[in-house]
Amino acid sequence: MQKNQTIEIPGMKDDSTHIIPATHNMANFLASSVHDMKNSMNMLIVGLDKALASIETTQLAAHAELAQMNHEARRINNNLVQLLTLYRLGHNTYPFDPQSIHLNDFLCAIVAPYGKLLKLHGINLEVNVSPELYGYFDEDLINGVIGNALNNAMRFTRDHIQITAIKNNGVLELRIADNGNGYPAQILQKNSDHMHRVNFQECSTGLGFTFSAMVAHMHNNQGHVGELKLENGNSLKGACFILRLP
Q: What is the pLDDT of residues 11-49, one digit of tens each?
A: 444 454 444 455 556 667 676 777 677 777 778 777 777
In the chain, the N- to C-terminal Cα span, in Å, equals 41
Q: Are 102 and 134 in contact (CB under 8 A)?
A: yes
Q: How far apart are CA 111 and CA 101, in angstroms?
A: 16
Per-residue confidence (pLDDT) for residue 35, from 0 to 100: 67
pTM tops 0.95, yes or no: no
Helix%, strand%, coil% for the chain, nearest 5: 50, 25, 25
Within 10 Å of residue 61's Cβ, how many Cβ atoms? 7
- In the three-class reduction of DSSP (H, G, I as helix; E, B as strand; rest coil), residue 158 is classed as coil
Q: How far apart are CA 194 and CA 149, in angstroms?
A: 14
Q: How far apart are CA 127 and CA 9, in angstroms?
A: 54
Q: How far apart are CA 244 and CA 220, in angstroms?
A: 10
Render 84-128 in DSSP notation, one character per residue: HHHHHHHTT-----EEEEEHHHHHHHHHGGGHHHHHHTT-EEEEE
- In the three-class reduction of DSSP (H, G, I as helix; E, B as strand; rest coil), residue 42 is classed as helix
- pLDDT < 50 stretches in the chain: 1-14, 16-20, 195-203
Residues 186-203: tens digit of each pLDDT: 888 766 555 444 443 444
Q: At what angle do helices 60-90 and 22-54 cross, to 10 degrees?
A: 150
Which residues have C-beta within 8 Å of that of residue 194, sequence separation ≥ 6? Answer: 206, 209, 210, 212, 213, 228
